[in-house]
Amino acid sequence: MNVATLDQLWVYLSGNPLLSLLVTLLVFVLAVRINRAVGGTPLLHPVTLSIAMLIALLLVVDMDYPTYFEGAQFIHFLLGPATVALAIPLYDHRERVRRLLWPLLLACGAGIVTAVASTLGVAMLLGARTETLLSLAPRSVTSPIAMGIAEQIGGIPSLAAGLVLLTGSVGCALGPWIFRLLRIKDPVVQGFTLGLAAHGFGTAHAFARLGAVAGAFSGLAMGLTGLLTAFLLPLITRLFGFG
Amino acid sequence: MPLIMGMSVLLACQFAGELVARGLTLPIPGPVIGMVILLVALMTLGKVPSSLRMTGEGLLRYLTLLFVPAGVGLMVHFELIGADLWPIVVTLVASTAVTLGVTAWVLARLQAGHARRSGRPGGKA
């Protein structure tokens, strides 16, 4: 019987999408377990934890991102139909959305202006470079929209996408503290706020932790914020003297 | 076959959304437009078919997992982020906190006022 050497096996496995797909699922299961074991703290959010563990793993085994993504893209692909599926909880809660339409729209506008103005303000004070600044500006919008906006106003699209992801994890970690501080318990307000400030991450978090009502309003906020930011952001950056 | 039917509906809406986004060169991602298309379709139909509900809610239950592959892509940006590390970290934390606070406060206030005006008990439901 011929036994293949370990490095031969590795060459085969690392070039096969099966490995990264399996590892992604296993790491996620492990991350959910760890998160539960430490009492479900949002500081060690399963998504943040999975991402950190996977990056560490890829660095250790020296696999580059495109190779990893060849397998992981099957999971990534489902984001599209899942986004479409957000219409279902929105439909279920359509009466509530209709009743609250104006408060929701106004809160969305206020949130976007706050997000962009505070981002540009703080980053300018701390002396970030102009490209970094303009890549930070669209950070609370879901990544495909953010990349388009960053390009339009003169930022770096790929950096913008990375910053969007960081914003998502920071938002999920800070959310519960802010809600406790402001004594906000309504799942509608919590969900909408998370979707606005932390896009898809916030929406996923709202679904997983706060239930379907929060998830529906979070999805609504994510969509609205994306649409409105695409129009508002170029105007705000001009106010700050860019472009 | 309900799973296949449900998935087909979702993919068809996404496909239509992509066509609209590309066709009109909108800066909005196809799936977001697909979500609007599905919402309009559901409102016209007046109910959610059980096959679609099963597939859609199944996907949404694991929404967090779906972000992991894109998130790992952060490793590609280490250098760019490292060049401006502290401004980026401080800005992300400070600005996200302020955004969360302002949005939640504004919406809670407006909602309470709205509920009072329309004679409904405010806040929770």
Q: What is the pLDDT of residues A202-224, one digit of tens each?
A: 888 888 888 888 988 998 898 88
Which residues of chain A are within 8 Å of residue B125 when distances are taken between CB atoms?
A: 96, 188
CB contact under 8 A, B14 and A188: no
pLDDT at residue A117 greater than cutoff 70: yes
Q: Where does the pLDDT of residue A29 fall: very low under 50, low under 70, confident under 90, or very high at 90 and above?
A: very high
Contact B68, A79 (CB under 8 A): no
A213-241: average pLDDT: 82
**ipTM for this prediction:** 0.84
Q: What pLDDT score does A179 carry?
A: 92
CB–CB contact B87 A126 (8 Å): yes
Least confident range from A50-59, A86-95, A107-116: namely A86-95
Give the pLDDT of residue B14.
Answer: 94
Task: Write down the pLDDT at residue B66.
Answer: 86
**How many Cβ pairs closer than 8 A exist between chain A and B?**
310
Q: Which of chain A's residues have a Cβ under 8 Å away from the Cβ of B36?
A: 87, 223
Q: Which one of B57, B69, B83 has the shortest CB-CB distance to A88?
A: B57
Q: Please provide the average confidence, as pLDDT, over all residues in chain A.
A: 86
Chain A interface mutation, best of B100, B109, B116, highest count of A Cβ atoms under 10 Å: B100
pLDDT tens digits, A123-157:
889 888 888 888 888 887 877 677 777 777 888 87
Q: Cβ–Cβ of A207/B60 closer than 8 Å?
A: yes
Best B103, B109, B110 member to test A by mutation, with max A CBs in 10 Å, is: B103
Q: Residue A115: is its pLDDT beyond 60? A: yes
Q: What is the pLDDT of residues B55-109, one digit of tens each?
A: 998 888 888 888 888 888 888 888 878 888 888 889 999 999 999 999 999 999 9
Write down the pTM of the prediction: 0.81
A101 vs A3, residue with greater confidence: A101
pLDDT-derived band at A201 (thresholds 50, 70, 90) equals confident
Q: Which of A32-46, A60-74, A80-94 has the lowest mean pLDDT?
A: A32-46
Q: Do B67 and A182 touch (CB under 8 A)?
A: no
- A160 interaction partners in chain B (CB closer than 8 Å): none
Instruction: Using an 8 Å CB-CB cutoff, list chain B residues near A109.
Output: none
pLDDT at B123 over 50: no
Q: Please give the pLDDT value at position B83.
A: 81
B119 — pLDDT class (breaks 50, 70, 90): low
Q: By CA distance, what is A76's nearest residue in B?
A: B66
List, for residues A65-81, the tens digit of each pLDDT value. Answer: 999 999 888 998 898 89
In chain B, the residue whose alpha carbon lies closest to the alpha carbon of A57 is: B72
| Domain extent listing, chain B | 1-66, 68-125
Which band of pLDDT confidence, cut at 50, 70 and 90, is reported for residue A1? low
The per-residue b/e assignment along B65-83, b for 16 or more CB within 10 angstroms, e otherwise, is bbbbbbbbbbbbbeebbee
Quick one: pLDDT band at residue A166, thresholds 50, 70, 90? confident
